Amino acid sequence: MENLDKFARWFIDNPDKILGEVKTHKGTKYDKDKVYTTIIGDKEKLFSLDIPDYMQVSNEDPLVSTEKVVINETNATPSEVANIDTALTKSKKRIDKKRETKLSPDFSPSENIWSYDEVDEEYNGARYDKDGNLISKAITEAEKQAYVLYIKRFTGKPIQGGFQKYDIQDNPSNIKMLMKKGVLCFDNTENEEHRRYKPTFYYASGNIRKKNQALVKDKDFYVSNFGEDVYENHLNAIKDALSKVNDNKLTLAGADKSKRIFIRIDGKFAEDFKVSPCVPIDEKSFDRSYSSWIRKYDGKIEWKVNETAKDMFPNQEMVVMLILEIINLH
């Protein structure tokens, strides 16, 4: 018992051997009279230990050292030097080959690797395929400034590296300038402040229909705070995105067979949902909380799903659209 006590107190008697900081705290309400000790580890103390750099190696000869040797220009053997030179030569050939295929004849990159400015210069223009068709438009300086402003707000960290050249001051004047150029948008569907100002290509993605509804609903807010032209920029970005979404919209009886909805009769969707015949209902049903209904009123389609169905089938809008497709077929 004496030896156990001796070893149990070893760290108490040798606090300099602890690779961290000792913290004490009282117990919970069930053992509040007790005091517990916790060690908060400190990796810097671990890294600062003066120990040999070993790696675990299984050697047949126990007399051969397993110490890890760092190869450098002073201790490398002739064969190791030859292998390094061969690898460097192959790497340089691969880099040169990539440059020949990707870069224009008048472009002169640095000797070893591409710098940020070289990449920025090469990919700053419009991109075309071999037939001369436009692949992607050039990224403007204002678009890069909007992206950097968003990243800086989103991460809460200063911009480093090549993107620093596009890091402008985050103030109302610059924000409005970027919005008037149509490269920065205010997303009123975001709850967190640091996510609301975002590049236009980010804004015109995600739940486009939700963003369109929120934008039209808050038109007065956009016009009064940013101006009519900024509101139109937002609206055009959303309309363009909606147009692309609608072009790829799936239907039950579209002319393009590749864009028709295909539902497996033994699939999960067919098992989860059942479309019942349409039956007449009285006017009071429209106000009952437990009712679910679809109706055509004053030339518009209206629908409601009760709370139970919302919990069971969160993608209710898709179901309603499918029912409307079925109705239209008949």
Q: Which of 100-109, 141-150, 201-210, 234-243 is the least confident region?
A: 100-109
The first and second tokens of residue 144, run together, are 């890069």
- Domain residue ranges in the chain: 2-47, 84-123, 141-247, 257-329
Q: Which of 130-134, 151-155, 192-196, 288-292 is the least confident region?
A: 288-292
For the stretch 173-216, pLDDT in tens is 999 999 999 999 999 999 888 889 999 999 999 888 899 999 99
Q: Is residue 209 a contact partner of residue 218, using CB atoms and an 8 Å limit?
A: no
Provide the pLDDT for residue 1: 40
Q: What is the 3-state secondary structure (H, E, C) of 72-140?
A: CCCCCCHHHHHHHHHHHHHHHHHHHHHHHHHCCCCCCCCCCCCCHHHHHHHCCCCEECCCCCEEECCCC
Please check the confidence at residue 226 and state whether its pLDDT lies above 80.
Answer: yes
Q: Which of 105-119, 199-213, 219-233, 239-253 is the least confident region?
A: 105-119
pLDDT band at 21 (very low <50, low <70, confident <90, very high): confident
Q: Is residue 161 a contact partner of residue 116, using CB atoms and an 8 Å limit?
A: yes
Q: Which of 44-53, 156-165, 216-225 is the least confident region?
A: 44-53
Provide the pLDDT for residue 89: 87
For the stretch 63-73, pLDDT in tens is 555 556 677 77
Averaged pLDDT score across all residues of the chain: 76
Cα distances from 218 to residues 186, 224, 263, in angstroms, run 11, 10, 38
Verdict on whether the full-model pTM lies above 0.85: no
Q: Which of 31-40, 191-200, 278-287 is the least confident region?
A: 278-287
Q: Which of 232-246, 252-266, 285-299 is the least confident region?
A: 285-299
Element of type H or E holding 193? none
The first and second tokens of residue 80, run together, are 């190791």
Provide the pLDDT for residue 330: 39
Please check the confidence at residue 318 and state whether its pLDDT lies above 70.
Answer: no
Q: Average pLDDT for residues 247-273, to the nearest whole number?
A: 76
C-alpha span between 275 and 265 (Å, rounded): 14
Which distant-in-sequence residues (6+ apart) come within 8 Å of 174 by Cβ?
Answer: 145, 149, 168
Higher pLDDT, 159 or 254: 159
The first and second tokens of residue 188, run together, are 């009123």
Provide the pLDDT for residue 105: 56
The first and second tokens of residue 231, run together, are 């509101």
Provide the pLDDT for residue 278: 56
C-alpha span between 303 and 300 (Å, rounded): 10
Please check the confidence at residue 316 and state whether its pLDDT lies above 80.
Answer: no
Give me the percent of the chain exceeding a pLDDT of 90.
23
Please check the confidence at residue 16 and state whether its pLDDT lies above 60.
Answer: yes
pLDDT band at 32 (very low <50, low <70, confident <90, very high): confident
Cα distances from 52 to residues 47, 66, 74, 129, 197, in angstroms, run 12, 11, 19, 56, 52
The first and second tokens of residue 329, run together, are 């077929």
Provide the pLDDT for residue 329: 43
pLDDT band at 4 (very low <50, low <70, confident <90, very high): very low
pLDDT band at 286 (very low <50, low <70, confident <90, very high): low
Q: Which of 8-12, 162-166, 319-323 is the least confident region?
A: 319-323
What is the dihedral sign for C-alpha 248, 254, 255, 256? Answer: positive
Provide the pLDDT for residue 130: 82
Q: Which of 169-178, 210-219, 258-267, 289-298 is the least confident region?
A: 289-298
Please check the confidence at residue 320 and state whether its pLDDT lies above 70.
Answer: no
